[in-house]
Chains A and B, each alone.
Chain A
Amino acid sequence: MSNYLEPLTIYETKDTPRVHFEPQKGLFEISKLSLPEDAISFYRPVIEWLEKYTENPNPETVFDFNIEYFNTASSKQLIQILLLLEKLNKKSKVKVRWHYKDIDEDMKEIGEEYASIINVDFELVEEH
């Protein structure tokens, strides 16, 4: 009997990101675009899943943010996820990888700011 949490997969749409959490494979990724008008509703199940995961996490959690761009409504929810990861860091060794396109200076800057707010291992990954 495995005690892994059921994976969470939300497919991307034109304005919401792809979310794929699969603890068994050590995959935690949010990617593509995040521009929903109602970011709270979109991220609610994502945050709920992560809260459940925090109860019984893997020894290590590598979390990839690979978002092309997001609106300010989403940024408020992303910070909630990051704060949850900070909490998780007490039970599981957390590493955040913040991916940004080499030409996207703004996304890099936002990553640096998040890194300064959140107390976890935070890596900025430049993509070409």
Chain B
Amino acid sequence: MAIEDNYTPLFSEFILDMVKDINQTDIEYIYRGNVNSDIVANTLELAKSNLEKTVQVIPLRHRIYFIMGEGLQNIAKHQDKPDEDTLSDNNLIYISKKNDRYNITTANIIANKNIEYLRDKLDRINDLSLSELRSLARNIRKNTLLDDNSNASIGLVEIAKRSGNKLLYDFKNINDKYSFFYLNIEVKVVSIKNIEKLEQRDNSYIDFLMKFHDYLNKIDTKIIFKGDFSQANILSLLEMLKHQIPESTISIRINNLMVEMLQNIEKHGDNIVSNVDWKPGFFMINFYDKAFYITGANYIINNKIDKLKGKLLLLNKMSKNELVKLYKRRLLEIDSITTQKSGLGFIDMRRRSNNPFNFSFLPVDDNFSLFIFQVIVNS
């Protein structure tokens, strides 16, 4: 993943890197902001629908879903509420599936005075073998009154046991009171029966995650989503955005733009793999230098490019008045009333954003290209 020193919001290297491997087997999901039970519930909804698309074996799907649930609830259990509320805006949920591995990363605020206790607990868990973890989990369940924190412990023990992997973690100091607590769980997409002992893991991955988190903070990323743009997923993403931008003229505008952009990807995106029934896409929203950048990407058949390009260039040249006139005319066109193609999506987005579109077509092969599309909303 490209993490640039000099970030340019218009199709940063980071975005180009992200979109280049959109496909039907891998997913990527990032939420950066305050984490509450609503966010956890919506993230799990998204995760569930993605698991159904990417993992065929049902018990395996359940196991991964369970680990995600525990992992996310863990944020709630271990997070401390800082005096400055804005610190929690940098909390992170990052879920990705690459090849046959699911990775679940969380970053949340913890009071420095609680670090040693948590570190000790995690080290003790990481020192255990798989069979020791199994018997510990059984014991904790039997004696839930053993210690006050048993609920939190059982979560981490169960995660370690079911992931079949050591837990990666680290702390990064923010100030004399608080730090970020990073936890990374990796789950191999194989049946639990095939896991005999815990894998050793490379600690350098957590260093990468910290740098990645810094970058996401720098470009004020709100959401990144790579996966299936089904209506259910679109609604979950909309719900999550509500928690990140306080309600205002701008937030409502962004909501509308998001709906149009995401439904556009779902409706007009082309499918690069013919035997899969969903179209992969990319979506990202971030804030940089007084503007929101809403970026989407999907595959497009090469012979459609010229027409789309012409349309977008034309819209980019239009004044507000011309756009309103065109919108009204299109609204009343009889032939498009009964078809799904209203022809209004791009006009609507161009009007609302009040900025020219930024777009590009990246060639993939003889038949397909990637269409990247960005709408800018000044705050």
Binding site for B on A (CB under 8 A): 14-15, 35-38, 40, 69, 71-73, 75-77, 79-80, 101, 103-107, 113, 116-117
Contacts and interface: CB of A to CB of B under 8 A. Distances in A.
B328 interface: yes
Contact of A113 (B231, B324, B345): B324
B249 A73 contact: no
24 contacts: A15-B231, A35-B234, A35-B235, A35-B259, A35-B263, A37-B231, A37-B267, A69-B252, A71-B256, A71-B260, A72-B260, A72-B348, A75-B331, A75-B342, A75-B344, A76-B331, A76-B337, A77-B337, A79-B331, A103-B249, A103-B252, A106-B256, A107-B252, A113-B324
Contacts of A40: 338, 340
Contact of B342 (A35, A73, A117): A73
The majority secondary structure among interface residues of chain A is helix
B311 to A, nearest CB: 15
A38 B231 CA distance: 10
A14 B45 CA distance: 14
B58 interface: no
Query: Chain B: interface secondary structure?
Result: helix
A67 B340 CA distance: 21
A40 B339 CA distance: 8
B331 A106 contact: no
Nearest to A108: B249
Chain B: number of interface residues, binned into ranges:
20 to 34
B249 A38 contact: no
Nearest to A72: B344
B328 A113 contact: yes
Give the most central of A14, A35, A113: most B CB within 10 Å: A35
A73 B266 CA distance: 13
A80 B328 CA distance: 13
B247 interface: yes
B353 to A, nearest CB: 11
B308 to A, nearest CB: 17
Given A75-B344, A76-B344, A14 B235 contact: yes
B328 A104 contact: no
Contacts of A104: 249, 252
B259 A69 contact: yes
A118 B337 CA distance: 17
Contacts of A75: 331, 342, 344, 348
Contacts of B259: 35, 69, 71
Given A37-B266, A103-B247, A106-B253, A73 B340 contact: yes
Contacts of A101: 252
Given A15-B235, A71-B263, A113-B324, A105 B249 contact: yes
B263 A80 contact: no
A103 B248 contact: yes
Contacts of B263: 35, 37, 71, 73
Contacts of A116: 328
A77 B260 CA distance: 16
B340 A38 contact: yes
B268 to A, nearest CB: 12
Contacts of A79: 331-332
Interface string B251-291: 01101100110010011000000000000000000000000
Contacts of B260: 71-72
Contacts of B359: none
Nearest to B230: A37
B352 interface: yes
Nearest to B344: A72
Nearest to B266: A37
B264 to A, nearest CB: 9
Contacts of A76: 331, 336-337, 342, 344
B11 interface: no
Name which of B259, B266, B336 has the most chain A CB atoms within 10 A of its CB.
B259
A40 B341 CA distance: 11
A55 B324 CA distance: 34
A79 B333 CA distance: 11
Top 9 A-B pairs, shortest CB-CB distance: A72-B344, A76-B342, A72-B348, A104-B252, A105-B249, A72-B345, A103-B249, A71-B259, A14-B235
